[in-house]
Amino acid sequence: MRIYAGLRGAPNATRLALIGLGDPAFTASVHGKATARLLTMTREEDPEVTGVPTWYAACDRNGSPIYYGQVNGENADMVLNRPTIEKHGPVFLTEWVLSLPVER
């Protein structure tokens, strides 16, 4: 999962963090909620830049984006414990739950 600063799709969007997930990455959806399978507490080891995270791309094992979402702010589906990711500072992901359409 990659966390970015800037507008999604903008050529100047900056990757702030790259965080790995388990395999499979999410539990099966129950009542429209799927929970990420975190590797205990998943963290980015060494962010290369400082920035304000605004969006993320959940990627498959080959690195291809399969889902996009908003970080922090209004309508966010991922909330980080800090508003800024600091260069060379830790980035922890302790829980991540996606809301999905419920099958009928």
pLDDT in tens, 18-45: 887 777 878 888 888 888 876 544 555 6
For range 92-99, the mean pLDDT:
75
- Structure token pair of residue 45: 């080891």
What pLDDT does 41 receive?
46
Spatial CB neighbours of 98, under 8 Å, sequence gap ≥ 6: 26, 33, 34, 35, 36, 67, 69, 77
Return the percent helix, strand and coil in the chain, to nearest 5.
0, 40, 60
For range 67-74, the mean pLDDT:
87
Taken in order 72, 76, 80, 81, is the CA torsion positive or negative?
positive
Segment holding 56, helix H or strand E: strand 55-59
Contacts 24+ apart (CB under 8 A), 60-69: 61/23, 65/2, 67/98, 68/8, 69/98
Instruction: For the chain, give the mean pLDDT.
Output: 81
